[in-house]
Amino acid sequence: MAILVDTDTRLVVQGLTGSEGRFHGLRNKAYGTNVVAGVTPGKGGQDVEGIPVFDSVAAAVREAGANTALVFVPAPFAADAIYEAVDSGVGTVVCITEGVPAHEMLRIHAYIAGRDVVLVGPNCPGVLSPGKANVGIIPAEIFREGSVGLVSRSGTLTYQIGHELTQLGLGNSTIVGVGGDPIVGTSFVDILALFEADPQTEQVVLVGEIGGDEEEKAGAFIEDEMTKSVVAYIAGFTAPPGKTMGHAGAIVSGSAGTAQAKKEALEARGIRVGTTPTETAGLVAELIRA
Amino acid sequence: MDLYEYQGKELFSRYGIPVSEGRLATTPEEAGSAAEALGGPVVVKAQVLTGGRGKAGGIKLAETPADAEERAREILGLDIRGHVVAKVWVERASEIANEYYLSLTFDRSAKRPLFMFTTQGGVDVEEVAASSPDALVRLHVHPLEGFQPWHGRRLVHDGGVTDPAERKQITAISGRLYAAFVGCEAMLCEINPLIVTTDGEVRALDSKFTVDDNALFRQPEIAAMRDAGAADPLEALAREKGVTYVKLDGDVGVLGNGAGLTMSTVDVVSFVGGRAANFCDLGGGGDAQGVVDALEVITSDSQVRAITFNIFGGITRCDEVARGILQALGQMGSELPVVVRLDGTNAEEGRRLLQAGPENVFVEATMLDGARKAVELAAAA
């Protein structure tokens, strides 16, 4: 099992002929992901190292059987690409692009609500199910297959924690980067629900950061709905209010969205929160040994 | 991006929200002539990107042009919460009968724009929310539905506005505020106070306007409103160089790759008893030029005594990053102690390269040790 991406994934890369799309699309393919198509309007009929390129996502679905889309197009065109993927009937859309305007995401979030599609991102590293499929830019070499689900708003911090888990001899079912923007397609709670239902996943690590209240919502969900153990880490304890810390969504607004408040909300529900990435990985190891 | 009051009011005005007539001035003399041109009593208001102007003496009434010039002389140069006043807005004074509050915010939690309205304006809305929550009307708008007149009717009805002329004006203003919020891709549009004059006219007496940075590429007029002089000089330098940088107040410079890892590094510096001088994110990569630019910004801060690099090599290999760091340090000729912690792909090779590097470069194996060493070196410097 695993969640979102696996051996049944048939991937279409939107923007495959661009430099980022090509680099990561080919890396995903080399990892073993079934990359069935690329889409670049006007370049239909070409190929990228044997991967056929189509003019539209609809053509990639119809002719190559794509069921998952990976969006690598630049920010001004990303919303269009997401809508196109959703309207073409793929079940999962992963958007890596950073810098998508927040108002676009308000509308997209409202548009996809109730539709049978999962949008991961934007401004995220993607989804990796070790040993099965890699969709996005996560460096797969540092992760092993295993039982720990990992969900995060950050890229390199996730790699850091995944790497520490690997060094402790632990592996992951799926790693999901939900993205660092104020509004993303899939929240912590959505991913936690998938992990709870996934037989391969036995424990979960949640990596949050300042801004918004998704960690608090996750805390309530974990207490009320989950049987699997969850360990958390929160970044940004020392972030000053009103400053955007790298991610558009990482901002303490007034007194709302602080790391301390998130930590307290999680701990109040019995969820252990590591003070450093290393300690967090250690807490997971304790859970497994216990 | 936060806008000044006068910029927000300019946008309000474009969307048909009534504001008082006014002029911008950068010298006392300009303020005097602005008052002259406007005629009658005026209010001289400091233009700074922070709250609490009134309490800090940044807003003053002037009866005559000479008076306005004097008041501007007092206000210009004033330090309001670390922001030095370089501009004042001189506007016609209003006869105020009532002060209300109206805002639209980007509600991340509900993923919808949120209207807030109360007839208890002129004060901190968080206080109203805490002390008399029933007086604060909260109303979400579905982004695909957009503003409809019923939203406006709900706001005034639930807010307890009884005068029909006021109701009509506020309903219209709320629709225009929504249009401004969407049209300018704002994260916040706040009118506090929204006044009712003694003549029964409803007007925005102040504006707080924040626009989404990610939308500025298609909002060129708003992007052009950025005042480079208002930012912290180091943050302005970073912006110019395309470095993601936030100034903090400690003495340990922090560089990481990726926002989350960098935030975590700043936390760890504090966890081991130090204080970070900055947050600086190299992004996913770590090429030599990126490192040079980032180091240039960090070392421009005279408070920095030591620097900690925290790099996790994923797709970017650690040996490449190590070469970038050495090349950058070679170019810079900086003698500040630099502690580097590398992990991930090809970390061992990267560490070996750094260990053979200059004497002010220290290599540590973990994030915690890297932070500890840098804090120690900063304290000893």
CATH of residue A216's domain is 3.40.50.261
Please judge whether B312 and A244 are an interchain contact, meaning their C-beta atoms are less than 8 angstroms apart.
no
The answer to whether residue A274 is domain-embedded is: yes
Question: CA dist A219 to A119, A196, A227, A257, B324, Å?
Answer: 22, 14, 13, 14, 41
For the cut 90, the answer to whether the pLDDT of residue B285 exceeds it is: no
Mean residue pLDDT of chain B comes to 92
- SS3 call for B219: coil
Domain count, chain A: 2
Give the domain extent around B178: 96-223
Query: Catalytic site residue A109?
Result: no
Question: CA dist B215 to A100, B85, B208, Å?
Answer: 8, 28, 18
Over residues A12-16, the mean pLDDT reads 97
Give the minimum alpha-carbon distance from A2 to chain B in angstroms, rounded to a whole number: 22
Q: Do A80 and A164 fall into the same domain?
A: no
The answer to whether residue A130 is domain-embedded is: no
Q: Report the DSSP pairing between strands B306-313 and B278-281.
A: unpaired
First-residue to last-residue Cα distance in chain B: 37
Query: What secondary structure letter does DSSP report for A240?
Result: P
Q: Do A47 and A77 fall into the same domain?
A: yes
Q: Kindly state whether B312 is in contact with chain A, defined as any CB-CB distance less than 8 angstroms.
A: yes
Residues in chain B closer than 8 A to A248 (CB atoms): 212-214
- What are the pLDDT digits (tens) for B165-182? 999 999 999 999 999 999
Residue from A72, A158, A159, A189 whose CB has the most chain B CBs within 10 Å, to mutate: A159
Please state, in angstroms and rounded to a whole number, the distance separating the CA atoms of residues A73 and B201. 49
Residues in chain B closer than 8 A to A243 (CB atoms): 246, 279
Instruction: Examine the fold and report which residue of A123, A157, A174 is the final residue of a domain before the chain moves on.
Output: A123
Tokens of B360: 């002010």
Q: Residue A107 — very low, low, confident or very high, per pLDDT cuts 50/70/90?
A: very high
Q: Do A38 and A162 fall into the same domain?
A: no
The answer to whether residue A242 is domain-embedded is: yes
Q: Do A109 and A32 fall into the same domain?
A: yes
Query: Of the candidates B248, B281, B314, which has its C-beta nearest A159's C-beta?
Result: B314
Res B286: pLDDT: 59
For the cut 80, the answer to whether the pLDDT of residue B288 exceeds it is: no
CA angle B155, B157, B158 (to 5 degrees): 70
Over residues B206-217, the mean pLDDT reads 96
Tokens of A145: 């297959």
Q: Does this complex have an ipTM over 0.90?
A: yes
Q: 10 Å Cβ neighbour count for B228?
A: 10
CATH of residue A49's domain is 3.40.50.720
Give the minimum alpha-carbon distance from A111 to chain B in angstroms, rounded to a whole number: 8
Q: 10 Å Cβ neighbour count for A67?
A: 17
- What are the pLDDT digits (tens) for B311-362? 888 777 888 888 888 888 888 878 899 999 998 878 889 999 999 989 999 9
Tokens of A217: 């919502």
The amino acid sitting at B248 is L
Backbone angles phi, psi at B252, to 5 degrees: -105, 115
What residue in A sits closest to B216 (Cα-Cα)? Answer: A101
Res B73: pLDDT: 96
Give the domain extent around A60: 1-123
Q: Do A288 and A173 fall into the same domain?
A: yes
Please state, in angstroms and rounded to a whole number, the distance separating the CA atoms of residues A12 and A36. 6
Give the minimum alpha-carbon distance from B298 to chain A in angstroms, rounded to a whole number: 16
Tokens of B58: 């940044």
Please judge whether A75 and B217 are an interchain contact, meaning their C-beta atoms are less than 8 angstroms apart.
yes
Please state, in angstroms and rounded to a whole number, the distance separating the CA atoms of residues A206 and A137. 19
Q: Do B75 and B113 fall into the same domain?
A: no
User: Is residue B58 packed enough to be buried (19+ CB in 10 Å), middle (13-18) or exposed (0-12)?
Assistant: buried
Q: How many contacts (CB atoms, under 8 Å) link A and B?
A: 166
Please state, in angstroms and rounded to a whole number, the distance separating the CA atoms of residues B263 and B256. 8
The answer to whether residue A136 is domain-embedded is: no
Q: Do A194 and A158 fall into the same domain?
A: yes
Strands (DSSP E) contained in chain B are 2-3, 22-25, 42-46, 59-62, 79-80, 83-84, 88-92, 96-107, 112-118, 137-140, 186-197, 202-204, 208-211, 244-247, 252-256, 278-281, 306-313, 338-344, 361-364
The amino acid sitting at B341 is R
